[in-house]
Chains A and B, each alone.
Chain A
């Protein structure tokens, strides 16, 4: 069957998805034919997972049209998708840890019921595991909680390929090899090829570009909620993919004069080696530097920041911290603000020692501190005694910056603090950070937004819990960051 004559399994036309003000998908056209494997790639937040949730029916699109097997779907849902033969292995594991492997299989099959269902479910999953991962050691009666993360992923993948009543036409695999070792990963990819050769379809999402280039027939590249490139896999190579994902147009550099700064000059503030690091690479931050932590989300940046934070209070092996630290949390709702407190109280909490008057906190000094930072960081509020929740999200984040900057900390750790913050707030904060850095403060800044790295003097790129690249300001390009984030794929 040549791709031109093959029928479309799923076709999306102008699909949109908004989460509040965030536009996760902006008019996506996408289709998959029977008997092909599509590789889907893109950087953090490009919209890959959202798109797959829409195809699998777990998210309803805000606009656009979904066509499955030629028929337009008006009320598309998970149940409907299953009936039409579409399955998805989600990135976050969706097994019930308290149930056995066989019982978890039952959850995906309405027909596994009545007498002997346990035997049938066990036989079904066992056969599929044997087929995909020959030589595995998973028993159907094993409780999922007791399985290692890799084995859980094997069960999850095998379960998606089991068939009872409903047909099986399309399986979406979202980072299916992320927890598998090299042997099981190649077993899985070989099975995917066999499945596709037999007429099935597969969407493979992976940050391992080599894996995608080797196994996909066609590759779709997403960026900022849009499909920016789609072509036969043979038309791409590593560099072309990286270019399509990130773009290489040089952007205007902020404060380029800082580039020439001599790294050896300032006093050492932080020297840290990630726990997973196997070679000698380590993160070094000196007085007055802004250090960027880059790479894909969740590859050990936050863990290292937290380790540095703990090391400031209690010595830890492999981490050296020479000054007081403060942390600006990324998830401000759960880790940052005290929702019952006023803006001033939220700002003052890190500096209680300085605000004390005898045993009590001096409200006057607390207000002075808060007012000073309100002016400097431009918190937009009529009264800093108002509740913190009266502020917009961006201004709440500013209050958290004020909390850290108003303290005695000489090292500020920032855990992707600009997530979901408007551009105006960002510009206010960027200016202030540079000013504070000139005054000798050190910033360690984890960010998922590559543009923000332009504010940094030095950038470390993380992958799988390790530092894989160490870029000075002069060397920094988005292409290099993406290149290193996706390293190790070939």
Chain B
């Protein structure tokens, strides 16, 4: 039999190099977070305290939740360009109906998740590019938010304020919340048996279909989870800011995508990491304003500086990924 030459067995040496690249890649999100924290500590040692972290990371929780939402969509090889305006819409519902007419508010939020599920079904059944569908939806959510709350205002329900104002002993609330979110999602997506199916639907959809799984179901589930975490993100955001604005979530779309990629995810291939995504979101939240403020960068330049940090971290990741293959 003359088939031996086809089986390309990689030698032990290359496997080691690949293993190192693997490790580096897995550690990169944590490493970039550590660098940002160390830089803040160096610039302003007083920020590294219970109170400092509570203040600096407050807005990281809604970003982390939006990032998790985006991560579910990316796990199925799609992209959600509407998550930011959806979070804004949820915020407006939360600050108005959820306080004044809780039943209507809850029904609207559940309806939002159902719309997400329907989008997943539509994208799968009609084989539409998700970028186009969700870009369209982003204007729909924005429009609905403006209809609901033409001027900034409203007020968060008291129970929500009580939840986000919770001060646990020793560990700042945002860190605790980040740990819980990362732990729960990591278990659900990476450890459960259906989580493997969901990730497989991004890795090799046709293999999954051949094994008798419904790709329609996996897509609906992934989009519903995105909608669910989008709702949580909107709730957390309003709990922290106490009032809403129709444009409040607009920046989240790109932050969420950046968070997933920063956390070790890939746009295609079902390769995502819940823990990494949360770390990515925290890094972005810290790098966004606390770090830059401590660096005495004027607010006018902060957005550009933020973008520069993103490019540096993502470039480092791209370099490591190349060594991996």
Which residues of A come within 8 Å of B, CB atoms? 56, 58, 77-79, 82, 88, 90, 94-99, 103-104, 106-108, 110, 112-114, 117-118, 146, 148-150, 177-182, 184-186, 208, 210-211, 276, 464, 488-489
Q: Are B213 and A107 in contact (CB under 8 A)?
A: yes
Q: Are A182 and B200 in contact (CB under 8 A)?
A: no
B194 on interface, CB distance cutoff 8 Å: yes
A to B CB contacts below 8 Å, 29 in the list:
A77-B212, A78-B209, A88-B210, A96-B199, A96-B270, A97-B203, A97-B269, A98-B200, A107-B196, A107-B200, A108-B211, A112-B193, A113-B194, A114-B193, A148-B10, A149-B7, A149-B8, A177-B1, A178-B6, A179-B6, A181-B3, A185-B1, A185-B3, A208-B1, A208-B3, A210-B1, A276-B5, A464-B6, A489-B1
With A149-B8, A150-B8 known as contacts, the answer to whether A78 contacts B212 (CB < 8 A) is yes
- Output the least CB separation between B218 and chain A (Å): 11
Scan B261-283; emit 1 where CB is below 8 A from any A CB, else 0: 00000000111000000000000
Q: Are B9 and A148 in contact (CB under 8 A)?
A: yes
Q: Are A211 and B271 in contact (CB under 8 A)?
A: no
B114 on interface, CB distance cutoff 8 Å: no
Q: Are A107 and B197 in contact (CB under 8 A)?
A: yes
User: Bound complex: CA of A464 vs CA of B1, how far in Å?
Assistant: 13
Collect the chain A residues with CB atoms within 8 Å of residue B18's CB.
146
- Output the least CB separation between A290 and chain B (Å): 30
B4 on interface, CB distance cutoff 8 Å: yes
Besides A110-B212, A180-B3, 9 new A-B residue pairs in contact (Cβ under 8 A), listed by A number? A82-B212, A88-B210, A94-B204, A106-B193, A106-B197, A146-B22, A148-B9, A149-B7, A184-B7
Classify chain B: how many residues form its interface, as a range. 20 to 34
Q: Are A178 and B3 in contact (CB under 8 A)?
A: yes
With A58-B210, A94-B207 known as contacts, the answer to whether A179 contacts B196 (CB < 8 A) is no
User: Bound complex: CA of A103 vs CA of B212, how far in Å?
Assistant: 15
Our count of residue pairs bridging A and B at CB distance below 8 angstroms stands at 109
Collect the chain A residues with CB atoms within 8 Å of residue B199's CB.
96, 98-99, 103
User: Bound complex: CA of A470 vs CA of B209, how far in Å?
Assistant: 43
Collect the chain A residues with CB atoms within 8 Å of residue B197's CB.
106-107
Which residues of B come within 8 Å of A, CB atoms? 1-10, 18, 22, 191, 193-194, 196-197, 199-200, 202-204, 206-213, 269-271
Q: Are A99 and B196 in contact (CB under 8 A)?
A: yes
Collect the chain B residues with CB atoms within 8 Å of residue A88's CB.
210
User: Bound complex: CA of A223 vs CA of B168, how far in Å?
Assistant: 74
- Output the least CB separation between A470 and chain B (Å): 19
Q: Are A98 and B8 in contact (CB under 8 A)?
A: no
Q: Are B207 and A117 in contact (CB under 8 A)?
A: no
- Output the least CB separation between B276 and chain A (Å): 14
With A58-B210, A78-B210 known as contacts, the answer to whether A96 contacts B200 (CB < 8 A) is yes
Q: Are A103 and B1 in contact (CB under 8 A)?
A: no
Collect the chain B residues with CB atoms within 8 Å of residue A110's CB.
212
Best-buried of A103, A113, A210 by chain B (most CB within 10 Å):
A103
User: Bound complex: CA of A110 vs CA of B9, how far in Å?
Assistant: 32
Collect the chain B residues with CB atoms within 8 Å of residue A104's CB.
200
Interface of chain B: mostly helix, strand, loop or mixed: helix
With A78-B211, A107-B208 known as contacts, the answer to whether A150 contacts B6 (CB < 8 A) is yes
Question: Which 3 residue pairs are nearest across A and B when measured between Cβ atoms?
Answer: A150-B7, A96-B203, A94-B207
With A97-B203, A99-B199, A118-B191 known as contacts, the answer to whether A488 contacts B2 (CB < 8 A) is yes
Best-buried of B6, B22, B193 by chain A (most CB within 10 Å):
B193
User: Bound complex: CA of A454 vs CA of B83, how far in Å?
Assistant: 61
Q: Which residue of A lies closest to B270 (CB)?
A: A98
Q: Which residue of B lies closest to A110 (CB)?
A: B212
Collect the chain B residues with CB atoms within 8 Å of residue A179's CB.
3, 6-7
Q: Are B193 and A113 in contact (CB under 8 A)?
A: yes
Q: Are B6 and A99 in contact (CB under 8 A)?
A: no
With A58-B210, A98-B269, A148-B8 known as contacts, the answer to whether A177 contacts B3 (CB < 8 A) is yes
Collect the chain B residues with CB atoms within 8 Å of residue A184's CB.
7
Q: Are B193 and A181 in contact (CB under 8 A)?
A: no
User: Bound complex: CA of A88 vs CA of B210, how far in Å?
Assistant: 9
Q: Are A99 and B203 in contact (CB under 8 A)?
A: yes
Collect the chain B residues with CB atoms within 8 Å of residue A178's CB.
3, 6
Q: Are A103 and B210 in contact (CB under 8 A)?
A: no
Collect the chain B residues with CB atoms within 8 Å of residue A208's CB.
1, 3
User: Bound complex: CA of A113 vs CA of B200, how far in Å?
Assistant: 15
- Output the least CB separation between B266 and chain A (Å): 8
Q: Which residue of B lies closest to A488 (CB)?
A: B2
Q: Are A186 and B1 in contact (CB under 8 A)?
A: yes
Contact of B4 among A58, A77, A97, A181 (CB under 8 A): A181
- Output the least CB separation between A286 and chain B (Å): 31
Collect the chain B residues with CB atoms within 8 Å of residue A97's CB.
203-204, 269
Collect the chain A residues with CB atoms within 8 Å of residue B206's CB.
94
- Output the least CB separation between A207 and chain B (Å): 10
- Output the least CB separation between A140 and chain B (Å): 13
Q: Are B200 and A99 in contact (CB under 8 A)?
A: yes
Collect the chain A residues with CB atoms within 8 Å of residue B270's CB.
96, 98-99
User: Bound complex: CA of A488 vs CA of B3, how far in Å?
Assistant: 9
Q: Are A103 and B196 in contact (CB under 8 A)?
A: yes
- Output the least CB separation between A320 and chain B (Å): 26
Collect the chain A residues with CB atoms within 8 Å of residue B204's CB.
94-97
Q: Are A181 and B7 in contact (CB under 8 A)?
A: yes
Q: Are A96 and B6 in contact (CB under 8 A)?
A: no
User: Bound complex: CA of A146 vs CA of B10, how far in Å?
Assistant: 10
Collect the chain B residues with CB atoms within 8 Å of residue A82's CB.
211-212
Collect the chain A residues with CB atoms within 8 Å of residue B10's CB.
148
User: Bound complex: CA of A58 vs CA of B208, how far in Å?
Assistant: 12
Q: Are B9 and A98 in contact (CB under 8 A)?
A: no
Q: Are B1 and A98 in contact (CB under 8 A)?
A: no
User: Bound complex: CA of A203 vs CA of B212, how far in Å?
Assistant: 21
Collect the chain B residues with CB atoms within 8 Å of residue A182's CB.
1, 3-4
Q: Are A94 and B1 in contact (CB under 8 A)?
A: no
Collect the chain B residues with CB atoms within 8 Å of residue A98's CB.
199-200, 202-203, 269-271
- Output the least CB separation between B196 and chain A (Å): 4
Best-buried of A56, A107, A108, A149 by chain B (most CB within 10 Å):
A107
User: Bound complex: CA of A96 vs CA of B206, how far in Å?
Assistant: 9
Contact of B7 among A94, A180, A210, A489 (CB under 8 A): A180
